[in-house]
Amino acid sequence: MIILRKKVQKPKVHYQLQLFSPDNGNYEYSAVVTDNKTWKPKDLLLFVSGHSAQENSISELKTSFAFDHIPTNTYQANSAYMQMSQMAYNLSISMQHSMGMATGRDTKGKSTRKFKNLKWKTFRFLILNRAGRIAWRDGVKVIELTKNNETELLYRNMSTTLNELEFKKAA
């Protein structure tokens, strides 16, 4: 067992485990139990704190990609459904990276992810939820959007990225 005590500048909420003095508002305590004796206390705490990145991914999968939904009573259909949900999630993350929408971040300390991705709800809103109208141009149906420089840049970037991916696939 490793028990860590860290001095805090501003105490958050005045609560402590019964194991420690409840009047002490100057320190934050963490306890981790492991059978691996090779960890240094600081490294172990950073490793345990880093699991939040996985939890965020799982939460995003469950809420936005219906990963917590079991659609049928057959193993094969449910397995295919889960794999498609996972692939859709991976595609959304890959698109963000390809289009430069994922912002880099420092991976020191508690943050274990190298990039900060947009939530699917935000990404979907930026890409799909746009007001427009269908019109005919030179005998071809097109969708006309309101003039917005940022939106135009986003769609041009997305088009370029998809064309580059198609070119790589063909090569």
DSSP 73-96: S-HHHHHHHHHHHHHHHHHHHHHH
Query: Which range has the top average pLDDT, 24-33, 120-129, 136-145?
Result: 136-145
Q: Which residues pair with 30 in a beta bridge?
A: 4
- The amino acid at 62: K
CA max distance for the chain: 78
> Kindly report the CA angle at 135 between 134 and 137, in degrees rounded to 5?
140
Which of these, 39, 27, 46, lies nearest to 1 by C-alpha position? 39
Q: Which residues pair with 5 in a beta bridge?
A: 29
Q: Per residue in 16-63, pLDDT tens?
A: 556 655 445 677 777 778 887 787 877 777 777 766 667 778 888 888
**pLDDT > 90? residue 140:** yes
pLDDT of residue 87: 92
- Return the SS3 of 4: strand
- Return the SS3 of 168: helix
- Return the SS3 of 20: coil
Q: Per residue in 35-45, pLDDT tens?
A: 877 878 777 77
Please provide residue 42's backbone torsions phi and psi, each rounded to the nearest 5 degrees.
-65, -45
Q: Give residue 117's pLDDT band: very low, low, confident or very high (50, 70, 90).
A: confident
Place of tokens 């449910």: 78
Q: Which residues are CB-neighbours of 157 under 8 A, at least 6 positions away?
A: 99, 100
